[in-house]
Structure 1
Amino acid sequence: MTQTSPPGWHPDPGYTGIGPVHERWWDGNQWTDHLRVPPATIRRRRMRIGITAGVVVLAAIGGGLFLLSDDSGDSKESAATAPSTA
């Protein structure tokens, strides 16, 4: 940050790429020790969790319908009959 940048939350210049992305407070002159997780990251995480849960529920419903459906078409023909001895 330059000294002309306004004070506020900015992407952490010391971020190493490990762990969640943080924002660091720039007081107008220097970086402070104050960190936070950006609010948009929390919203995106909740959205991803919700979408994943929805996909899992839909997959479970689809799998259940697939397993419970009888598409073999030979339910009466497959009955074993004893050969006649005539």
Structure 2
Amino acid sequence: MTELFKEVMVWRRLDAVSAVRYTCLQDLHNDKFALQSADFFRLPLTPASAHNVAAQFVELFIETSPTERCSWFDDAIVNHDQEFPSA
């Protein structure tokens, strides 16, 4: 069976100079979500830092199947925030 995923980005403003971007994967077979990364950004943002985050996402996705590496939930962000309350 072919593995198909949809990338879902969710942003949270933390304050006037910082934010977190949750990058989730939605498994299109079972409609569950996994949190691939929670990336924190702070102004001033550099193009190199944004590029590095994007490259890490692709490398991790290719290296190991998300079905093997991730835990899957109806709401992955809620689960993440419960596991890491300071994020």
Bigger Rg, structure 1 or 2: 1
Between structures 1 and 2, the one with greater strand share: 2
**Higher RCO structure, 1 or 2 (CA under 8 Å, sep 6+):** 2
TM over 0.5: no
Q: What TM-score, normalized by structure 2, do the two folds share?
A: 0.26
Q: What TM-score, normalized by structure 1, do the two folds share?
A: 0.26
